[in-house]
A and B are shown apart, each in its own frame.
Chain A
């Protein structure tokens, strides 16, 4: 215990903290400009100088730790005099252009000058000049306003780990600049904007088009981009969303954001948004009234149900839909249509992976707090770049690395290049083989703990793959592999981060088994990357062909009947088709009606031609979306949907944290759940909801996982698995897992040629980002990444255009050379035009029923 006196007030603290923290704990405010809680103390601005008894100098409160008996005074004449002096210094070279500075009204310097600053300036020498920089599409730099607190640089370096900013020059000539000079060419997390106390680093998105005091409302909600679910503040004037900003320390992101959360919100006000339903008449989509569209859909569905049976109808839900919308959608299909043909994007990778791990380790095995990652002593990343897919989760990996945890990456992770100890950029077969080999080696070093005898039997039964063989086959050095085995074996509480690429191959089911074995041997926590905000929620809501809400198999009669009784509906007893099976069935003409809610199917599955054919084959296609997507263009009826900021609901993130999303602005349209329940009513099932709360109440009643949760609980952002501690399904279904014949995989692997893999791009996810002008402006041109050797052999320079040809098609892309890539892999991100799905053929993993993107050999034509 340490007792100190601040401003004659006695304060007792448990541990030594800085004077600043001590003062704050006592409610005493000390002004600062360069201090930020998530950054290390800096002591640069000198505004926090305070008087400490027996010390002749004034001390900076942000750097000075308290000691027993210290007597501090923060508002003496001398201190106030010093603050005035510092503020005068800060203002001498400041342009004092508050009248048109976007920061005015929320500027720390302005506020401090008001409170402590001199009334008049005495500086009679010329001010420093530094032209404002507009070189970047998103970030405007005005270095005349900069107070050199260096928070942006420290944020970029120490927290974001992007190291894109630096202070150039020295002394009074110092200024902040991106390393690349003009454009930032960085990750565009915008966290530098968050910490800038003045108008030196500003967002270019709303330059000069708002004044901070004109913001009328602020709504704290959850970001709509990925499965992390960062907390955001939406600032609104009238009915328009002015900007999104984070709040330092708030939410699971603790105030950090990524490019999508920070800049990607402008899709909401994109002029291409649909505002009226469209019905195809004489081959053309024409505007229609809501009531007409809804009646039309209901009538057509009824007809098809009568003519072809309920199972000729299927529904697909997007990961952007809220729990409430998803729940109502599956209830509509099961109760009103009478089919289990209901699935979601989660079944493309996230779902199968989770299902596999839960089968072995029990429900909730992937429900881990993302902050655990930064506390682990080792990280294994496979199948996706966490810093691209779930950037804020990716920061946890970087943070762990900075604390000394080794990071092993399998697959391509652009954002972890500088942070990984071992990195193997594999193609799909070598990925499985390497995993098998790592498991067989680590098995020798680590004893099986005996917790799960059945699974241990499986592990023991796995065919051994010597490192030497794996090395020969994959081309990775044997020493590298040996080192990796050592690194992994030395981890005590590692985090294992799994992305979709591992699932979406024809050997994905085997990789999952080896990965489970690895996780078991290393005692690792599993994290599943999720590209959409509510994939987990879709699974929990029962948007699966064989599962009822809360992951209960519908083939188990007790579960089914309980559900039927509670809801007063009949649920078919046979599982329906999953997402890819629906497309296959549509292609074969067996699906007559398809209802796609929020998903751009053509852009989300391999082989665009195959999927387009399938959609064309469907007799009646309904698409509900914010935009006229490629999928919507095939539709018979298109319904506009509301954006996440225009409706209420809840998302369940990849940690299985349930969070509330709030309505911030009024949208042109009707909430999904209302549309569905209208249709349901026409089809004879009156769901009777008056609000989303009614739906949530029903979810809570039917789902044993979510039981007793209220909106109040989830508002806090701390509603974590296992929520209210209900009984969980711990039964494990290991029987039936086939031991993979890895030897024949190795024997039959076709390792010749160059294969294409998907790059998870930081600025281009497969959802709203493509309608965000801001995100599009960062990296607008589709590209193919290839190794230096391959590019060298073809004499290709960066930016040159090439034709990338596969069996499935060809696209023209610009070349990005990447020295990290091996010769036999090229990477293409899922751009809307010129994306990977245009040149991958239709292929499905036989076990997981996930699409498989492997085996697409490419030829580069110059």
Chain B
């Protein structure tokens, strides 16, 4: 498949606007400006594009909600707070192909009639910040951003805001709170950001990768786009692969490629040709899978059928030597550290789970610990304010479910 999201990124100057334009960049913007905003949305709707941040919400539908809200002004926010461990796909776009994102954002802003946009950038991406800032400067110089873009009377201004290291700020409402200068904690939904987002105005928040798909949709048309990859959730997809594979990295492959193909064909198989023990398909907040599930196509529809989620498409492979209890502990520690503390079950429960697992790992496990752990996780599940606590609970349950014998062994051999 021809690369769309990482087109021309082999060039060392791929982030430069001239290079981007040379490779056909900003043509979609010209094309979009010839269309009516409504038609742009319609094209995106027909493309079947679903949000790449993890939830997979149909992008065109989201846009039309914001447009239907009579309040003005409207805001466009790019969620570049790529904090999910194992995920580094957006970074590829941000550092190597920033103009694709900018072009996507200008088109999106034109479609939803937003005059202001923000890129909420992960604080630990200093390089991406530099690249983005100079790309934005170039875009202003070339009049792709500004008060009167391409002389068409369309105005759009873009700012970069750096996060301060909180995972929760990747959650869209916490992101808005943080962008407004407040403590990053999720808001009550509804109202959803499409109606009351930034400054309580209609706001579209899309992931970097989602917005980077927009120029392609405009270029080839929604119908053509919808034929790429899985029929239900089409399009190209970036997979960031890490762990025990021979060639880790970001891979642009169509939606619906199988885990086996990613690991064995594209990444060259497991390091040292060892046996695959487990794989996380979509970042650490998605349940772990055992090797018998790796023929499952990677998309929003098929992964839930085998008990996991596509998430951000961050594949982490573990070989046969890995201690899965330790993996579970590491992940739970992460969730404990990143829980914002707003709601009781997540704040108190995740730490409790961590404490039990840590004890088991430290050789002080007791009989009944695993049932207890299961109960604590069930007590969190479905009661939290936002999905963070739920993820922590389901993930622990998936490790307990798939590798219970490893936990039991640790307790027995303390």
Contact = CB atoms under 8 A, between A and B. Distances in A.
A88 B337 CA distance: 21
B347 interface: yes
Contacts of A43: 188, 343, 385
A236 interface: no
A173 to B, nearest CB: 8
Nearest to A93: B348
B348 A89 contact: yes
Nearest to B355: A125
Interface of B is mostly: helix
B352 A46 contact: no
Interface stretch (A163-171, A241-249, A388-396, A446-454): A163-171
A63 B336 contact: no
B142 interface: no
B338 A170 contact: yes
A784 interface: no
B134 to A, nearest CB: 33
A853 interface: no
Given A89-B379, A123-B352, A170 B384 contact: no
A148 B352 contact: no
B344 A170 contact: no
B368 to A, nearest CB: 10
A45 B383 CA distance: 10
B382 A172 contact: no
Interface in B32-67: none
B351 interface: yes
Interface in A704-756: none
Interface in A604-653: none
A172 B332 CA distance: 13
Contact of B383 (A46, A126, A150, A174): A46
Nearest to B189: A63
A169 B340 CA distance: 9
Interface string B356-396: 10010000000000001000000100111100000000000
B23 interface: no
B348 A172 contact: yes
Nearest to A47: B344
A658 B350 CA distance: 55
A92 interface: yes
A86 B345 contact: yes
Contact of B336 (A41, A42, A60, A172): A172
Contacts of B347: 89, 148, 171-172, 174
Nearest to A41: B188
Given A43-B385, A167-B183, A86 B344 contact: yes
Interface residues of A, number: 37
Nearest to A63: B188
B342 interface: yes
B349 interface: yes
B336 A90 contact: no
B341 A85 contact: no
A425 interface: no
Contacts of B351: 171-172
A90 B338 contact: no
Interface in A138-169: 147-148, 150, 166-167, 169
Which of A44, A65, A125 has the most chain B CB within a 10 Å cutoff? A44
Contacts, number: 91
Nearest to A123: B352
A421 B383 CA distance: 44
Contacts of A123: 352
The range of chain B's interface size is 20 to 34
B166 interface: yes
Contacts of B397: none
Contacts of A56: 382
A57 B382 contact: yes
Nearest to B359: A125
Contact of A82 (B166, B340, B348, B383): B383
A92 B341 CA distance: 15
B240 interface: no
Contact of A92 (B166, B338, B340, B348): B348
A93 B347 CA distance: 11
Given A89-B379, A148-B347, A172-B347, A46 B188 contact: no
A126 B372 CA distance: 16
Nearest to A89: B348
Give the interface centre of B347, B372, B379, B385 by most chain A CB atoms within 10 Å. B347
A122 interface: yes
Interface in B299-357: 336-352, 355-356
A46 B336 contact: no
Nearest to A149: B344
B384 A167 contact: no
Contacts of A844: none
A58 interface: yes
B379 A88 contact: yes
A49 B379 CA distance: 13
B344 A89 contact: yes
Contacts of A173: 341
B398 to A, nearest CB: 19
A167 B183 CA distance: 9
A170 B166 CA distance: 9
A191 to B, nearest CB: 20
A219 B188 CA distance: 39
Contact of A58 (B190, B355, B356, B382): B382
A171 B349 CA distance: 10
Contacts of B336: 171-172
A90 to B, nearest CB: 6
B383 A49 contact: yes
Contact of A125 (B338, B343, B356): B356
A47 B356 CA distance: 24
Contacts of A148: 341-342, 344, 347
A42 B372 CA distance: 30
Nearest to A57: B382
A44 B339 CA distance: 13
B382 to A, nearest CB: 5
Given A46-B385, A166-B183, A167-B183, A174 B341 contact: yes
Nearest to B190: A65
Contacts of B356: 125
Nearest to A88: B379
A86 B344 CA distance: 7
A46 B348 contact: no
Contacts of A150: 342
Nearest to A172: B351
A840 to B, nearest CB: 44
Interface string A170-212: 1111100000000000000000000000000000000000000
A371 to B, nearest CB: 24
B382 A44 contact: no
A170 B345 CA distance: 14
A90 B344 contact: yes
Among the interface residues A41, A167, A171, which one has the most CB atoms of the partner chain B within 10 A? A171
| Max chain B C-beta neighbours (<10 A), residue from A57, A63, A88, A172 | A172
Most buried by B among A46, A122, A170, A173: A170
A63 B348 CA distance: 21
A18 to B, nearest CB: 10
A44 B343 contact: yes
A56 B382 CA distance: 9
16 contacts: A41-B188, A42-B188, A45-B344, A46-B383, A46-B384, A82-B379, A82-B383, A85-B383, A86-B344, A89-B344, A89-B345, A93-B348, A126-B355, A171-B341, A171-B351, A172-B348
Interface of B: 166, 183, 188, 190, 336-352, 355-356, 359, 372, 379, 382-385
Interface of A: 41-47, 49, 56-58, 60, 63, 65, 82, 85-86, 88-90, 92-93, 122-123, 125-126, 147-148, 150, 166-167, 169-174
Given A171-B340, A172-B341, 14 more contacts: A43-B385, A44-B342, A44-B385, A45-B343, A46-B384, A86-B345, A86-B383, A89-B344, A89-B352, A170-B339, A170-B340, A170-B341, A172-B336, A174-B341
